[in-house]
Structure 1
Amino acid sequence: MARLSDPTERLTDSFAEAVGEFVAEGRGGPDDRSLLGEMIRDNPGDPRDWIASYLALERRWRTVAPEDFVTMTMLWWTEGDTYLGRISIRHHLNEHLREIGGHIGYDIRPSARRQGHATAMLAAALPRAAELGIEKALITCDADNTGSRKVIERNGGVFEDRRGAKLRYWVPTAP
């Protein structure tokens, strides 16, 4: 059964395979403004070679954010020795996140999509957001991303508005 876990070097090979899947679908290109896209651009080459520094950054972000970021908790969605995806819980919002990014962002590796993982991962992460003092989490998605919209709505997301290409939802973090 899949579960949230702290990022770990134990899953290096599976993580590297997932990064390969993301790159194959076009992630990491100059127009990819996601956190994952930035990580791929900043760390060219085999992810096995940069996972230690990547994990150190993920751990550090819980207390000290890089410039232009906010503190956040990164968790991986795993099943056994398989990396399925990751979710970021941003501890607070800055102006940019209020408009486009929200409190929570997530990615599911392409080979694990359409299996309910994103819905279950978000459901598992919401209590963690509540522990951080977030009563309602702002979650955004691209207007044309039907899958992500359904994930948010299945987790109680209430549509607030559309800003440009982004839909904005508020999701309660506690039942």
Structure 2
Amino acid sequence: MPDLIAPTTRMHTAWLEARDDGGPGVHEDGFGLRPSDEVDSPAGFVAWVTRLAEDSDPAKATEGGRVRCTYRWIVDGDRVLGGMALRHEFSDLGHIGYGIRPSARRRGLATWALGRMLGEAQELGLDRVLIICAIDNIASAKTIERNGGILEGVRDTEHGPARRYWFEIGALGS
């Protein structure tokens, strides 16, 4: 049974396996990984997980102009299956970003996890949530639509055309 957990250093090896499942890169959707993050060494991984925790801490998250963000990992036992990021303020990237490792796709994990993160957005008091996905990412569009996202339209971004979906959080119910 999957679970959403806060990032933890105890899952270093499992996280690396998830990253390597799709091939490493500087953009791991939902994980908050930056090009400057070094996650292969234990010390680098600890530093990264510490930053992720600080990003969600209201007292520390706004230092240096950072956007407050809650990160969750989708796990099943000792396996990391994906990542979710919930930005607490509006961003050109949208409020929620996510990714599922290739070997765990097509099981409904993203739909389930997105529903949970929308619940966290509601707990934070967000009224509306924006989620953006590449125009050709049909799986992500279906995930968003299954959770009630309303298509605003398509806009050009630095990564190409993207669909923009809005959620009215108050309309989600309890």
Q: Same fold (TM over 0.5)?
A: yes
Cα root mean square deviation, aligned: 2.2
**Structure-2 separation of matches of 1:156 and 1:34:** 21
1:149 matched to 2:141: yes
Is residue 152–residue 171 contact of structure 1 (8 Å, CA) maintained in 2?
no
TM-score (normalised: structure 2): 0.84
Alpha-carbon spacing, 1:44–1:34, altered in 2? closer, same or farther (3 Å) = same
Residue 92 (1) aligns with residue 86 (2) = no
48-57 or 10-19, which deviates more:
48-57
Share of identical aligned residues, percent?
35
Letter matched to residue 80 of structure 1: G
Counterparts in 2 of 1:34 and 1:7: CA distance versus 1, 3 Å: closer
Worse overlay, 66-75 or 13-22:
66-75
Q: TM-score, normalised by structure 1?
A: 0.83
Which of residues 61, 67, 70 is equivalent to 2:67? 70
Aligned pair count reads 164
CA displacement 1:62-98 (0-9 Å, x = unmatched): 12146464111111111111111111111111xxx2x
Instruction: Tell me, yes or no, if the aligned pair for 1:13 and 1:48 is still in contact at 8 Å.
Output: no
Instruction: Label 1:33 to 1:161 Cα distance change in 2 as closer, same or farther (>3 A).
Output: farther
**Residues 144/66 of structure 1: CA separation in 2 closer, same or farther (3 Å cut):** farther
**When you count helix as a share of all residues, which structure comes out higher?**
1
Tell me which residue corresponds to 1:83: 80
Structure 2 residues not aligned, in runs of 5+:
none
- Residue in structure 2 matched with residue 9 of structure 1 by the alignment: 9
Q: Would you say 1:168 and 2:160 are equivalent positions? A: no
Give the superposition deviation at 1:46. Answer: 2.0
Local SS of the residue matching 2:103: helix
Code of the residue aligned with 2:140 in structure 1: it is: S
Partners of 1:87 and 1:19 lie apart in 2 by 14
Hey, what's the Cα distance between the residues in 1 that align with 2:16 and 2:84? 17
SS in 2 for 1:43: coil
In the other structure, the counterpart of 1:129 is 121
Match of 2:45 in 1: 51
Tell me: CA distance 1:37–1:5, structure 2 relative to 1, closer, same or farther (3 Å): closer
Distance 1:37 1:91 in 2: 14
Q: Deviations over 1:115-158 (max 9, x none)?
A: 11111100111110001111221101000111110110000000
CA change 1:123–1:54 in 2 (3 A) is same
The residue type paired with residue 8 of structure 1 is T
Task: List structure 1 segments (4+ residues) > 6 angstroms apart after TM superposition.
Answer: none
- Consecutive unaligned residues of structure 1, counting only runs of 5 or more, are none
